[in-house]
Structure 1
Amino acid sequence: MTEQTVLIAGAGPVGILNALGLARAGIPVTVLERGSEVVQSPRAMVYHWSVLDGLEQLGLFEVAATRGFLKQGYTYRVHATGEQVSFGLDALEGKVAHPYNLHLGQNVLVALALEQLAALPHAKVVWNTEVRSVSQDDTTVRVETTSGGDPAVFTAQWLIGADGARSTVRESVGVAFDGITWPERFVATNIRVDLEAHGWPLTTMLMDDRYGAIISKIDTTNLWRFTYCEDETLPVETVRDRMPEYFQAVFPGIDDLELVAFSPYRMHQRAASTFRAGRVLLAGDAAHATNPTGGLGLTSGLFDTFVLYDALTAVIEGRVSDAVLDDYARQRRKVFVDKVNPAASANKKLVYHTAGAELEEAMVELRRLTTDADALFTRLMFPKTLETPSLVEEVHA
């Protein structure tokens, strides 16, 4: 049996960044990850400007910006007509510390955080360790796992479940995951091609009810993300066979495109009924799942992280009571339900399911952003409204 102050299930960005925040504060922490290494399949890769302050506080922003790149522009493009509307985060210059987004595969961010975590002797990551069940009493959480094929038990004062939308931690403590599953399948692909040379902006929201897609440059090696959706009833085994049709329809005349990786997956709009169950705390996709249109899933998970490790550190150090964790659970759930969920659903509809009169109405609003500075500023500030300020206040002492 291995005992720690905090256990974290899941070595994705939410799990590893929570571990880094706790460890930098001197809290002993162990991350349990069922995989043998950082997941390399296509995942989130855009960090909205609003989360970059938090990455900087963790000591990750500079190195992440060096590995990825900073970008200000957005383009919305109608596939059927070719009309484009572009605007940029330069409207935030002089008003926020980081008036740009960061593009970087989340696997790279996790790897960078792991490098820092490895330098802290009271932090460790245990790979090939799958959580099987969770139990708890008033003082301890007990996590039963299969580690390297053998049973292993870990105990701690606290457990953070950051083990994804199919969270075993969430299921083990009996927390419901209410919401819907969309009737489409998303297909996220990594492609290597110089789309800039072919006139494509760094990020394009391609609007069409058949060939809608999100097209965004990932890094400086001409690796791009092309994400589209298809009917979920089509065989998942033949996803790759159907890809050429999408590539040819969206990128006509581009014949040097290399498929590097792809990942088909179902999309959900769901939230855990509570983000806290005793000594178990949920964060990221284990707490809430959203379709990725607009990048609000990773943004939400990072904002969970920044406020959670800060609050949990204060509880462990005795500076505040654990009531602050109830505040975490309540406020982060409210942000998802009231803001993230409807915004991500609207984004999905706009890109993948808007046509005819609805599309023209949407274009009127998008065009207005190029002439109405106040409307543009309001839109660009939206990701900041998803943040929860530090909850560490003397009122909880």
Structure 2
Amino acid sequence: MNNEQQQPVLIIGAGPVGILNALGLARAGVPVAVFERAAEVVQSPRAMVYHWSVLDGLERLGLFEDATARGFLKQDYTYKVHKTGEEIHYGLKSLEGHVKHPYNLHLGQNVLVEIALEHLSRYPNAEVFWNHKFVGLEQDSDSVTASFETAQGTVTASGSWLIGADGARSRVRQSQGIDFDGITWPERFVATNIRYPFEAAGYSQTTMLIDDQYGAIITKIDNSGEAGLWRYTYCEDASLPEEQVAERMSGFFASIVKDPENVIVEAFSPYSMHQRAAASFRSGRVLLAGDAAHATNPTGGLGLTSGLFDTYVLAEALAAVIRGEADDAVLEEYARERRRVFTEIVNPTASNNKRLVYHSSDPERLEEDLAALRRLRTDEEAVVKRLLFPKSLETPSLIGAW
């Protein structure tokens, strides 16, 4: 047994990437300590679609049954052109017989974190500390010591390795002087949780509304209440006053439903959008994962998908290193490969998704895009190829060669 196993892995951030890394390590017998600056699981509207390709990983972590019981599985997709009303339907039923889980899971990421915390609490080698604001770290060849601001003053914790899973504004990444290369979009995204009978109004459970002014992603989150809870995400010019987002919101709802007065807004969250990747995902004994390592606009749901694929391969590789079953060079491979997947696959695809849904002002380009989408009505091979795309974001196990 490697001596590193006597020290916990420190994980900064109790979002899905942080908590699932903790669960993966704890299940492998590695002690973990998670530190979160908030007092509890963040409840604001965030990611809520899990592509079929990440469900195998949730199953390996023992979370799949509980997650599907709390959320729901769906297969349908619709692209809808706002100006013309044209609709293009297709669905994951086409993957039946090709993959184990031919459906997506819809579940608020806060609920997934709550489920994972329930599972993590069963492991005596795992601890979670709330109200701990990370402020810095020191490391040497054998360990990492992190400092935190708390209500009781500054405290420190030492561990064998540290995973920064503290979001796009990662203080862990900043503490290592790692550049966050890329761009920030000139638009602001607004994610809303609303109640409205979209299905009765003819919308599928995932509808991508294409329009250069009123573009939106409309997705059902759960089946609670009479009509379920829905995520309605649109974008607006970031130069508009953020404090007036709520006042402008009704105009977007009025553009797509006949009775916007019946839209009930339960929560909303405006935020900046980025296409950025850390210059390196590793700095000595510090590893980055999820939004701390890469940030993308959410069109297409590729951000959380990427973060989960980071998690699955990192937890396994780090556990193997700590148990002495793999050289820590495997963590360099993690850092290189996950950065490559983001820069070469996720980043351009998410950018193109954003252009199609929210910036379709060029009629010739829009017609080219729609011509490709119309093939999905009749070309089963094209449908399968499109639906298999999320699998390309996965990095296979890195420890097989060790």
- Structure 1 residue 147 displacement after superposition: 2.0
- Structure 1 residue 254 displacement after superposition: 4.5
* 1:7 equivalenced with 2:13 (yes/no): no
Distance 1:82 1:344 in 2: 24
Distance 1:95 1:199 in 2: 29
Runs of 4+ in 1 over 4 A off after TM superposition: none
- Structure 1 residue 393 displacement after superposition: 2.5
Question: Do 2:250 and 2:260's aligned partners in 1 also have CA atoms closer than 8 Å?
Answer: no
What's 1:270 paired with? 276
Q: 3-state DSSP class of the match of 1:218?
A: strand
Distance 1:141 1:284 in 2: 20
Question: Could you tell me which of 241, 252, 259 is aligned with 1:253?
Answer: 259
- Structure 1 residue 4 displacement after superposition: 3.8
- Structure 1 residue 41 displacement after superposition: 0.2
Code of the residue aligned with 2:383 in structure 1: it is L
Question: Do 1:71 and 1:101's aligned partners in 2 also have CA atoms closer than 8 Å?
Answer: yes
Deviates more, 1:185-194 or 1:288-297: 185-194
What's 2:394 paired with? 387
What's 1:280 paired with? 286
Question: Do 1:135 and 1:173's aligned partners in 2 also have CA atoms closer than 8 Å?
Answer: no
CA RMSD of aligned residues (A): 0.9
Deviations 1:217-251 (A, max 9, x none): 00011100000000000000100000111111122
Deviations 1:95-154 (A, max 9, x none): 100000000000000000000111111101100000001121101111011122510001
Question: Do 1:132 and 1:144's aligned partners in 2 also have CA atoms closer than 8 Å?
Answer: yes
Code of the residue aligned with 2:327 in structure 1: it is S
Deviations 1:275-307 (A, max 9, x none): 111000000000000000000000000000000
Q: What TM-score do you get using the length of structure 2 for normalisation?
A: 0.96
Distance 1:394 1:244 in 2: 56
Code of the residue aligned with 1:118 in structure 2: it is S
Code of the residue aligned with 1:390 in structure 2: it is S
What's 2:3 paired with? none
Question: Do 1:269 and 1:291's aligned partners in 2 also have CA atoms closer than 8 Å?
Answer: yes
Distance 2:205 2:260 in 1: 17
What's 1:354 paired with? 360
- Structure 1 residue 60 displacement after superposition: 0.5
Deviations 1:238-279 (A, max 9, x none): 000001111111222343210000000000000000111100
Distance 2:16 2:157 in 1: 22
Aligned pairs (5 A) from 1:28-67:
28-67=31-70
Aligned pairs (5 A) from 1:181-260:
181-221=184-224, 222-260=228-266
Deviations 1:335-358 (A, max 9, x none): 000000000000000000013222
Code of the residue aligned with 2:45 in structure 1: it is P
Question: Do 2:182 and 2:274's aligned partners in 1 also have CA atoms closer than 8 Å?
Answer: yes
Distance 2:223 2:110 in 1: 15
Code of the residue aligned with 2:324 in structure 1: it is G
- Structure 1 residue 394 displacement after superposition: 3.7
Code of the residue aligned with 1:266 in structure 2: it is S
Deviates more, 1:25-34 or 1:144-153: 144-153
Code of the residue aligned with 1:376 in structure 2: it is V
What's 1:369 paired with? 376
Give the number of aligned pairs.
393
Flag structure 1 segments of 5+ consecutive residues without an equivalent. Answer: none
What's 2:327 paired with? 321
Deviates more, 1:144-153 or 1:21-30: 144-153
Code of the residue aligned with 2:384 in structure 1: it is F
Question: Could you tell me which of 79, 84, 87 is aligned with 1:81?
Answer: 84
- Structure 1 residue 18 displacement after superposition: 0.2
Question: Do 2:138 and 2:144's aligned partners in 1 also have CA atoms closer than 8 Å?
Answer: yes
Flag structure 2 segments of 5+ consecutive residues without an equivalent. Answer: 1-5
* 1:94 equivalenced with 2:97 (yes/no): yes
Question: Could you tell me which of 174, 182, 196 is aligned with 1:171?
Answer: 174
Aligned pairs (5 A) from 1:63-142:
63-142=66-145
Distance 1:190 1:38 in 2: 17
Deviates more, 1:293-302 or 1:248-257: 248-257
Distance 1:269 1:149 in 2: 37
Question: Could you tell me which of 340, 344, 360 is aligned with 1:334?
Answer: 340
Deviations 1:154-180 (A, max 9, x none): 110100000000000000011110000
Deviations 1:300-335 (A, max 9, x none): 000000000000000000001001000100000000
Distance 1:49 1:57 in 2: 14
